[in-house]
Amino acid sequence: MASSLLCATKGRWIVPFHRAVRTRRWRALTFFNLHTTAGNMQASQENFEKAQHNLKLLKKDPGNDVKLKLYALFKQATQGPCNTTKPGMLDFVNKAKWDAWNSLGNLSKENSRQSYIELVSSLASSESSISDKTMSSNNQQKFETLQLLREDNITKIILSRPEKKNAINMLMYQEIGHALEEAGKDESTITVLTGLGDYFCSGNDLNNFANVSPDGKEKMASDAAVILEAFVGKIIDFPKPLIAVVNGPAVGISVTMLGLFDIVYATERATFHTPFSQLGQSPEGCSSYTFPRIMGLAKATEMLLFNKMLTAPKACELGLVTEVFPDGTFQREVWTRLKAYAQLPKNSLAYSKQLIRETEKEKLHAVNVQECERLKERWLSEECMTAIINFFQSKAKL
Question: Which residues bind to ligand COA, rule: CB under 6 A?
Answer: 14, 16-17, 164-165, 167, 202-207, 251-252, 275, 279, 281, 395
Q: Helix (H, G, I), strand (E, B), or coil: what is residue 33?
A: coil
**Residue 126 or 204 with smaller CB distance to ligand COA:** 204
Task: Output the smallest distance, CB 272 to ligand COA, in A.
Answer: 12
DSSP assignment letter at 194: E
**Residue 204 or 311 with smaller CB distance to ligand COA:** 204
**Residue 136 or 386 with smaller CB distance to ligand COA:** 386
Task: Output the smallest distance, CB 34 to ligand COA, in A.
Answer: 29
Task: Output the smallest distance, CB 227 to ligand COA, in A.
Answer: 15
**Residue 67 or 240 with smaller CB distance to ligand COA:** 67
**Residue 14 or 369 with smaller CB distance to ligand COA:** 14
d(CA 144, CA 161): 9
Task: Output the smallest distance, CB 151 to ligand COA, in A.
Answer: 29
Residue 132 backbone phi and psi in degrees, to 5: -60, -55
Which DSSP string corresponds to 220-269?
A: HHHHHHHHHHHHHHHHHH--S-EEEEE-S-EETHHHHGGGGSSEEEEETT
Residue with nearest beta carbon to ligand COA: 252
Judge whether 94 and 19 are in contact, CB under 8 Å: no
Task: Output the smallest distance, CB 257 to ligand COA, in A.
Answer: 12
**Residue 150 or 165 with smaller CB distance to ligand COA:** 165
Parallel/antiparallel/unpaired status of strands 190-195 and 154-159: parallel
Q: Which residues of 304-334 are buried (b: 16+ CB within 10 A; e: fewer)?
A: beeebbbbbebbbebebbbebbbbbbbbebb
CB atoms closer than 10 angstroms to residue 241: 22
**Residue 165 or 299 with smaller CB distance to ligand COA:** 165
CB atoms closer than 10 angstroms to residue 290: 22
Task: Output the smallest distance, CB 378 to ligand COA, in A.
Answer: 10
Task: Output the smallest distance, CB 379 to ligand COA, in A.
Answer: 11
| Residues forming beta bridges with residue 324, ordered by sequence position | 266
- Residue 81's nearest CA partner among 45, 31, 40, 27 is 27
Task: Output the smallest distance, CB 243 to ligand COA, in A.
Answer: 22
**Residue 251 or 286 with smaller CB distance to ligand COA:** 251
Judge whether 266 and 246 are in contact, CB under 8 Å: yes
Q: In sequence order, what are the residues at sequence separation of 6 or more whose Cβ sits closer than 8 angstroms to the Cβ of residue 255?
A: 203, 272, 273, 274, 285, 287, 320
d(CA 320, CA 310): 10
**Residue 169 or 188 with smaller CB distance to ligand COA:** 169
Task: Output the smallest distance, CB 208 to ligand COA, in A.
Answer: 8
Q: In sequence order, what are the residues at sequence separation of 6 or more whose Cβ sits closer than 8 angstroms to the Cβ of residue 118?
A: 31, 328, 332
